[in-house]
């Protein structure tokens, strides 16, 4: 028997004795010390200084620095700036925020065009498992939700954005229910609520572990019923700006024909999502194939300012074994109903419901200090003991509440109702992004940003369930504000003057771009 199997046996042996144990809750000082020593956000060598643009002199990870300082794909191509299509609101991205923005803009009377790199619905939204935070129970309040999120975010959250999020949460959930989203219910019809890490009250609404799938399925159906025009496999290569520096459209590329498609728009909403597929610091990711942070270089070159661009969320529990599942998320909700985290000796080492930054840091610590388990392909991890969930909540709970998780592992002959699985933090979320106001407008006039591409709301660490709420509340707000602006203004000129200015700045700073951005897709193709 090898070490992995011996360790797995230990987990089984300690299971019953661990049932009544409660690991002590970390004090703020203990948590800060843990995070600052082990969280990837604090690895100095991973960071570099941005040399051009609005965040010049500030830090972020090397991969994002080179993305922001990157060369435009247009530098090597000649483009005729002649609009093929005119529209009030152009929405870039076909996930939750983009769809919600499209529906809101259309409902506000604007003409809408959506364009997306993959298909409508291909997004991190569809993959969301755990749920959406919303303060609806009588013992909870929007103010509590606000305070929990602020503490979880290391007090770096934009307070106005956060207040608006928690206050509009309940009405946006009502809108979703009115449109047919089937959240899990209690017998009395009230929404079934579950606790999330770092939350003082149970406030996660969910659809088993298919929450994102259910939301996206309904949003997509709404977009199609509204007959909103959607261009698929049409990523944006560059934004367009007017004489005054406001955003006035975008240059798209048809990936099937390689032809450019110029859109003149009165307002543009970037809803391109996150950055997981950049594999920052070599981490595997829970994100979908298209999560390459396209919105960051696009808006940055157009003159937008980013905020908290140096902070990322490494979700504590990404699968590391089998290799084919590396990076795939095991929802936090499974810990909220009793699953334990254990090191190679079968010992617990952290309160499972601490915030994600703390739990991820503790897992990294265990592995760094030799208390991890190595997989056959050389990855390290710790155990997530899920059979406990059935012990604590009754047989069949995992199957009933987490059917997708049970099924995913069963494809590799791992029965999570009977045995623990190996996990390690997986790159999950971009905490920061483009700085926006409460209507989602960036520092560039007429350029709005919604969802994961935007930043500020979540501070330096997003609480579980706040991103689904973010895309709904701010997708809607951006859609409405962009439509209102668009229906009261004229079309502006379409130029690439911002790109000229950016090239000037590159030259001045002596920056020689080492990448073309946006990169659009991760490069997984074996070249040998």
Q: Tell me which of 17, 22, 27, 28 binds another protein, using CB under 8 A.
A: 28
Q: Assess 44 for contact with another protein (CB under 8 A).
A: no
Stretch of 106-114, 148-156, 263-271, 509-517 lying at the interface with another protein (CB under 8 A): 148-156
Kindly tell me the burial class for residue 87, based on how many C-beta atoms sit within 10 Å of its own C-beta (0-12, 13-18, 19 or more).
Answer: buried
Catalytic residue (one of 315, 401, 460, 498): 315
Nearer to another protein among residue 62 and residue 348 (C-beta): 348
- Overall residue count recorded for the chain in this entry: 528
Residue 347 or 505: the one with the smaller Cβ distance to another protein is 347
- Residue 164 burial (C-beta neighbours within 10 Å; 0-12, 13-18, 19+): middle
Q: Does 404 bind another protein (CB under 8 A)?
A: yes
* Phi, psi for residue 372 in degrees, rounded to 5: -100, 175
Active site residue 279: no
User: 495: which strand partners?
Assistant: 241
Among 67, 135, 271, 481, binds another protein (CB under 8 A): 135
Contact, 132 vs 157, CB < 8 A?
Answer: no
Separation of alpha carbons 457 and 146, rounded Å: 11
C-alpha 332: how far from its chain's center?
A: 15
Report how many residues bind another protein under the rule CB under 8 A. 87
Window contacting another protein (CB under 8 A); options: 146-154, 354-362, 393-401, 499-507: 146-154
Positions in 232-261 near another protein (CB under 8 A): 233, 255
Q: Specify the residue, 51 or 371, whose C-beta has the smaller distance to another protein.
A: 371
Residues 191-210 interacting with another protein (rule: CB under 8 A)? 191, 207-208, 210
- Indicate which residue of 39, 277, 301, 335 is catalytic: 335
Q: Which helix (H) or strand (E) holds 262?
A: strand 260-270
Among residues 62, 217, 348, 501, the one that binds another protein under rule CB under 8 A: 217
The reply on whether position 4 binds another protein by CB under 8 A is: yes
Rounded Cα–Cα distance for residues 270 and 277 (Å): 18
Q: Are 430 and 274 in contact (CB under 8 A)?
A: yes
Chain residues 494-513 in contact with another protein, contact rule CB under 8 A = none
CB of 50 to another protein, least distance (A): 27
Least distance CB 230 / another protein (angstroms): 11
* Binding track over 368-397 against another protein, x by CB under 8 A: --x-xxxxx---x-----------------
Q: Evaluate whether 269 touches 285 at the Cβ level (below 8 Å).
A: no
Q: How far apart are CA 282 and CA 278, in angstroms?
A: 9
Confirm or reject binding of residue 147 to another protein (CB under 8 A). Answer: yes
Find the shortest distance in angstroms from Cβ 334 to another protein.
15
Q: Which residue lies nearer to another protein by CB, 109 or 376?
A: 376
Which residues is 445 bridged to in the sheet?
none
Q: DSSP strand E in 125-203: where?
A: 132-133
37 binds another protein (CB under 8 A): no
**Strands (DSSP E) found in 25-183:** 47-49, 59-61, 85-92, 112-115, 132-133
Q: Which of residues 149-188 bind another protein (CB under 8 A)?
A: 150-151, 155, 159, 163, 167, 170-171, 173-174, 177-182, 185, 188
- Candidates 129-137, 241-249, 333-341, 501-509; binding stretch for another protein (CB under 8 A): 129-137
Q: Measured between alpha carbons, how far is 340 from 136 in angstroms, rounded to an integer?
A: 28
Positions in 69-128 near another protein (CB under 8 A): 118-119, 121-122, 126-127
Known catalytic membership, residue 315: yes
Measured distance CA(97)–CA(474) in Å, rounded: 7
Sign (positive or negative) of CA dihedral 498, 503, 506, 511: positive
Closest distance to another protein from the beta carbon of 288 (Å)? 4
CB of 141 to another protein, least distance (A): 6
Shortest distance (Å) from residue 181 CB to another protein: 6
CB-nearer residue toward another protein: 101 or 520: 520
Contacts of 32 (CB under 8 A, 6+ apart): none
Q: Of the two residues 7 and 311, which places its CB atom closer to another protein in the complex?
A: 7
Pairing of strands 380-385, 229-231: unpaired
Check if the beta carbon of residue 315 is closer than 8 Å to that of residue 425. yes
Task: Quote the least distance from Cβ 101 to another protein, whole Å.
Answer: 20
Residues from 269 through 328 that contact another protein (CB under 8 A): 286, 288-289, 322-324, 328
Q: Is 25 in the site for another protein (CB under 8 A)?
A: no
Question: Nearer Cβ to another protein, position 344 or 359?
Answer: 344
Residue environment code for 12-38, b if the CB has 16+ CB neighbours within 10 A, otherwise e: eebbeebeeeebeebeeeebeebbeeb
Catalytic machinery residues: 315, 335
């Amino acid at each position: 028997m090898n070490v992995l199997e011996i360790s797995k046996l230990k987990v089984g042996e300690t299971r019953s004795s661990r049932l009544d144990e409660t690991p002590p809750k970390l004090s703020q000082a203990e948590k800060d010390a843990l995070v600052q020593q082990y969280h990837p956000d604090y690895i100095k060598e991973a960071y570099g200084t941005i040399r051009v643009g609005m965040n010049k002199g500030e830090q972020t990870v090397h991969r994002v620095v080179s993305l922001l300082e990157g060369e435009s794909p247009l530098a090597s191509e000649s483009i005729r700036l002649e609009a093929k299509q005119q529209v009030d609101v152009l929405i870039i991205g076909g996930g939750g925020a983009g769809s919600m923005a499209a529906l809101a803009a259309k409902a506000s009377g604007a003409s809408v065009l959506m364009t997306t790199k993959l298909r409508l619905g291909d997004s991190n939204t569809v993959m969301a498992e755990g749920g959406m935070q919303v303060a609806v129970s009588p013992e909870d309040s929007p103010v509590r939700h606000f305070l929990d999120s602020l503490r979880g975010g290391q007090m770096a959250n934009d307070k106005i954005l956060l207040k608006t999020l928690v206050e509009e949460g309940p009405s946006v959930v009502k809108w979703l229910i009115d449109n047919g989203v089937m959240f899990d219910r209690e017998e009395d019809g009230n929404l079934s609520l579950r606790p999330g890490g770092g939350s003082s009250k149970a406030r996660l609404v969910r659809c088993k572990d298919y929450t994102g799938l259910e939301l996206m399925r309904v949003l997509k159906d709404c977009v199609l019923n509204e007959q909103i025009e959607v261009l698929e496999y049409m990523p944006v290569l560059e934004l367009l700006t007017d004489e005054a520096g406001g955003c006035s459209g975008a240059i798209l590329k048809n990936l099937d024909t390689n032809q450019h498609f110029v859109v003149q728009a009165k307002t543009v909403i970037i809803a391109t999502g996150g950055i997981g597929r950049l594999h920052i610091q070599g981490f595997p990711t829970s994100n979908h194939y298209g999560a390459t942070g396209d919105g960051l270089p696009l808006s940055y070159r157009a003159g937008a300012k980013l905020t908290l661009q140096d902070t990322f969320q490494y979700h504590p529990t990404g699968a590391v074994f089998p290799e084919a599942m590396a990076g795939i998320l095991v929802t936090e909700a499974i810990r909220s109903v009793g699953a334990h985290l254990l090191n190679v000796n079968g010992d617990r080492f952290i309160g499972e419901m601490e915030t994600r930054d703390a739990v991820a840091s503790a897992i990294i610590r265990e592995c760094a200090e030799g208390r991890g388990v190595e997989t056959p392909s050389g990855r390290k991890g710790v155990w997530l003991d899920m059979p406990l969930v059935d012990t604590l909540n009754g047989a069949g709970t995992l199957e009933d509440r987490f059917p997708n998780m049970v099924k995913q592992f069963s494809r590799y002959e791992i029965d999570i109702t009977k045995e623990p699985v190996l996990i390690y933090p997986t790159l999950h979320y971009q905490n920061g992004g483009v700085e926006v106001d409460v209507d989602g407008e960036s520092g560039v006039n007429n350029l709005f940003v919604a969802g994961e591409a935007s930043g500020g709301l979540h501070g330096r660490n997003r609480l579980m369930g706040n991103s689904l709420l973010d895309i709904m509340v701010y997708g809607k707000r951006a859609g409405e504000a962009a439509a209102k602006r668009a229906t009261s203004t004229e079309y502006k000129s379409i130029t690439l003057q911002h790109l000229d200015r950016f090239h000037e700045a590159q030259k001045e700073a002596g920056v020689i771009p080492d990448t073309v951005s946006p990169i659009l897709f991760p490069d997984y193709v074996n070249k040998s």
